[in-house]
A = this chain, B = another copy of it.
Amino acid sequence: MSDLSVHIGKLILKNPIMPASGTFGAELTPLLDINRLGALVPKSVTVSARDGNPVPRVCETSGSMINSIGIQSKGIDDYVTHQLPAYRKFSPPLIASISGETIDEFETLAARLDAQPDVAALELNISCPNLRANGQAFGMSAEATAQLVRTVRAITDKTVIVKLTPNVTRIQDIAQAAEHAGADALTVANTFLAMAIDSETRKPRIGNIMGGLSGAAVKPLVVRLIYQVHQATRLPIIGSGGVMNGQDAIEMILAGASAVQVGTATFLQPNAMTTIIDDIDDYLNRHQIEHLTDLIGQVDLS
């Protein structure tokens, strides 16, 4: 047994594996040993209840999927009164993903959740491609990112994680803006803006026309983004995008990630995350590495 623990801001996770927001919920209980996870990340919450986007909301593409759920949320009140308590029975720290259409909304959410002892950290979803037209998001502008992060930082001492969008020219600039504005960690990255058309019906295969691409196909893009962000900032990075097995997780850690989120893989194998934790443990034993932290960013460029 190697030491799999990692630091993300003020949190110490017992291992680097956690769910990606939007792909996880307490409904997994019969299929997954949730207490083995490094952290819990429920679906992004918004201030008011939202219905989400038109159906179909998911489609399958080659080695990947597109989703346009559009943050279906019952709003922050329901989150605090019903959802947080449902996770109380689990031991891993809970990272609350929050999403808004304005900086004020992020501020409101952060203030509410700062007061919740059940919330260990906040993940700011500034990168959802499914909220505004053409996949626009806060995370596409360094200034908007900085302003948003500064606002949230002023409100809470909890660990603040900023989830970046991959749909930018230079992710390094956004990462640095978040770092200077006071972020404790970065999630790299949200989904890639994508589209698929059924050639027979000629209709988009997603009701909302475009959606976010996730799954195995995006991993080489995400590994590159992690590597770029790791070179540009000193913040711990949570890799997200295309991790299907332990090897994929190790690849992201070598590129610079301290922890790794798993989303799409859970749809296929609800217990993918615990399998990945076992894979990582095997890898460390096989390579006689005592601490997982010794691998972070250790891609061999010689």
Q: Which residues of A contact B (CB under 8 A)?
A: 61-64, 66, 134-135, 140, 167-170, 192-197, 199, 201-204, 209-210, 213, 216-221, 223-224, 227-228, 242, 247, 250-251, 254-255, 283, 298-301
Contact = CB atoms under 8 A, between A and B. Distances in A.
A134 B172 CA distance: 11
A250 B201 contact: no
A247 B199 contact: yes
The quantity of this chain's copies bound in the complex is: 2
Nearest to A59: B220
Q: Closest 8 interchain pairs by CB? A: A217-B217, A194-B220, A195-B224, A63-B63, A62-B216, A202-B300, A199-B250, A168-B169
B193 A299 contact: no
A227 to B, nearest CB: 6
Contacts of A254: 197, 199, 202
A300 B201 contact: yes
A42 to B, nearest CB: 27
A225 to B, nearest CB: 9
A169 B194 contact: no
Given A254-B202, A299-B203, A62 B61 contact: no
